[in-house]
Amino acid sequence: MKERIQSDQIFQRALKVIPGGIYGHVSPVTGLPRHFPHFCERAKGCRFEDVDGNEWIDFMCGFGAILHGYNHPEIEEAVSLQREKGMVFNQPSPLMVDLAETLVERIDFADWAVFAKNGSDLTTWAIRVARESTGRPLVIKAKGAYHGVDSWCDPGHGGRIPDDRASILEFDWNDLEALTDLISKNKDKVAALILTPYHHPAFAPSELPADGFWQEIESLCARYGIQLVLDDVRCGGRLHAGGSHRHFDFTPDLAVYSKALGNGYAISACVGNGSLRKPSMEVFLTGSCWNDALAMTAALKSLELSARDDMVSGVLEKGSRLCDGLERVSKDRGQSLRMTGPTSMPYPWFDGDDSLFEIQRFCQLCADEGIYFHPHHNWFLSNAHDTESIDQAIAVADKALEQMSAEDES
Ligand SMILES: Cc1ncc(COP(=O)(O)O)c(C=O)c1O
């Protein structure tokens, strides 16, 4: 069992000055079970140390933000050099143009790019660009899909008024009949269809697009004049170097990236096709530190490393080693653990575990041995996960599954 004295003490202090101590999806009250540490001290590669000095092998990668490994030497060196020049100025540094050029070169349909700090900034902005270009009000999204913290899409209820969702329609992922029905009933009113590359909800297994799903989506959008917005915030960088639409072979009108873009430095990007250049200029966009040259340096270096090291194949292969290994030991132990979704960002699921008790028990037992497997969110692989760390995690999982089988029998 891991020591958690400092972690608990700091959390007690936090409760006095921060509502709930820690908020959002890592809040111990609503999201992350208590056997995980509340606070981290440092991280390197695929490991981090919590405030009690416990070392963890991490399979969350800062919830996806870390693609090359924590504290990557080449990225940190590039950032240090830029830091000598400065970080936030009145005007952007030329790095912004370098970064836009890199994205436009790498993402096949992209004609332009803009930048902000978080995914939410730009998923919300992108649907406004779609509204501006179509002159229509409605937005369609998949039920249970997360697109950020703004009131049109956040998973909470607080502080919301009915108007916030009055222009948002939903359909079940892969239910093309329901989607077609929704679109035809709201003909000439739908501005945007916003979707993730595949369905990756929390608390449920991931669902890949059914055969022909994306092709039908493209044809519906073309037929009804709807802008297709790809929310690639979570998957970007882990499925295809040219954007996740290439992995599934379709073309959106706009795409939003964040998480892995800056390897932990806060930056998001939205790219769009040429027809949206003019409407994009009509939707106001700025922010306190929007032109942060350090984050742009990190993103440029991160994109350079991704191309040089064939990052996507690397994380998919590492993920396959992990997923195959976990499914193998699960089968050997008579358990039903199944890894869903792409291997570079798999979601673990025990068959029939609707109460979620089994996945919680599994992740707790692994956490006791220093393996950070999240029970309710997809995991993330980085290029820093080596054979040793993956095999160590599989060995710990094997013991956890053995214990679960013993508990089932008793
Ligand atoms: C698919 C998706 N879209 C949008 C967002 C929002 O991004 P951010 O948290 O950077 O605002 C997230 C964040 O997890 C996400 O996973």
Q: DSSP secondary structure string, 118-141?
A: SHHHHHHHHHHHHHHHH---EEEE
The CATH number assigned to the domain holding 236 equals 3.40.640.10
Of 308, 341, 373, the position where a domain reaches its end is 308
| Together in a domain, 333 and 229 | no
- From the alpha carbon of 63, which atom of ligand 1 is closest? 14
pLDDT of residue 1: 67
Q: Is 356 a residue whose pLDDT tops 90?
A: yes
Of 249, 273, 308, the position where a domain reaches its end is 308
Residue 232, C-beta contacts closer than 8 angstroms, at least 6 positions apart = 196, 197, 243, 244, 245, 255, 256, 257
CA of 409 to the centre of ligand 1 (A): 41
pLDDT of residue 33: 67
pLDDT of residue 353: 97
pLDDT of residue 141: 98
Residue nearest to atom 8 of ligand 1 (CA): 119
Kindly write down the DSSP assignment for every residue of 374-406, as one continuous string.
-SSS-----TT--HHHHHHHHHHHHHHHHHHHH
Could you report the per-residue pLDDT of 1-40, keeping only the tens digit for each?
Answer: 688 899 999 999 999 999 999 988 888 776 666 788 899 9
| Together in a domain, 242 and 380 | no
Q: In what order do the strands lie in the sheet with 47-50?
A: 40-44, 47-50, 55-58, 371-372
Of 278, 308, 338, the position where a domain reaches its end is 308
| Together in a domain, 185 and 237 | yes
Mean pLDDT of the chain: 96
| Together in a domain, 47 and 132 | no
The CATH number assigned to the domain holding 353 equals 3.90.1150.10
| Together in a domain, 83 and 19 | no
Other Cβ atoms closer than 10 A to 22: 20
Kindly write down the DSSP assignment for every residue of 17-70, as one continuous string.
HSTTSS-GGG-TTTTS-TTS-S-EEEEEBTEEEETTS-EEEESSTTTTT-SS-B
Tell me the mean pLDDT in the region 384-389. Answer: 98
What's the whole-model pTM score?
Answer: 0.97
| Together in a domain, 184 and 83 | yes
pLDDT of residue 28: 78
Q: Give me the number of domains the chain comprises.
A: 2
Ligand 1 pocket residues where CB is under 6 Å: 118-120, 123, 146-149, 196, 231, 233-234, 258
Q: Pairing relation of β-strands 337-340 and 347-350?
A: antiparallel
Could you report the per-residue pLDDT of 281-335, keeping only the tens digit for each?
Answer: 999 999 999 999 999 999 999 999 999 999 999 999 999 999 999 999 999 999 9
| Residues belonging to the chain | 410
pLDDT of residue 326: 98
| Together in a domain, 253 and 333 | no
Confidence class for position 90, pLDDT limits 50, 70, 90: very high
Write out the residue range of the structural domain in which residue 150 sits: 73-308
- From the alpha carbon of 123, which atom of ligand 1 is closest? 4
CA of 5 to the centre of ligand 1 (A): 32
Q: From CA 38, how far away is CA 34, in angstroms rounded?
A: 8
| Together in a domain, 274 and 321 | no
Tell me the mean pLDDT in the region 81-87. Answer: 98
Tell me the mean pLDDT in the region 56-73. Answer: 98
Could you report the per-residue pLDDT of 121-153, keeping only the tens digit for each?
Answer: 999 999 999 999 999 999 999 999 999 999 999
Could you report the per-residue pLDDT of 167-212, keeping only the tens digit for each?
Answer: 999 999 999 999 999 999 999 999 999 999 999 999 999 999 999 9
| Together in a domain, 234 and 346 | no
Percent of the chain clearing pLDDT 70 (strictly above): 99
Of 190, 207, 189, nearest to 198 by C-alpha is 207
Strand intervals (E) in 109-242: 112-116, 138-142, 168-171, 190-195, 227-231
| Together in a domain, 231 and 326 | no
Q: Is 264 a residue whose pLDDT tops 90?
A: yes
Ligand 1 pocket test target in 115, 259, 261, 290 with most atoms within 8 Å of CB = 259
Q: From CA 328, how far away is CA 324, in angstroms rounded?
A: 6
pLDDT of residue 127: 98
pLDDT of residue 157: 87
Q: In what order do the strands lie in the sheet with 112-116?
A: 112-116, 268-272, 254-257, 227-231, 190-195, 138-142, 168-171
| Together in a domain, 155 and 130 | yes
Q: From CA 332, how far away is CA 161, in angstroms rounded?
A: 51
CA of 147 to the centre of ligand 1 (A): 5
Residue nearest to atom 16 of ligand 1 (CA): 234
pLDDT of residue 30: 67
Residue nearest to atom 7 of ligand 1 (CA): 119
User: How is residue 372 annotated by DSSP?
Assistant: E
| Together in a domain, 303 and 379 | no
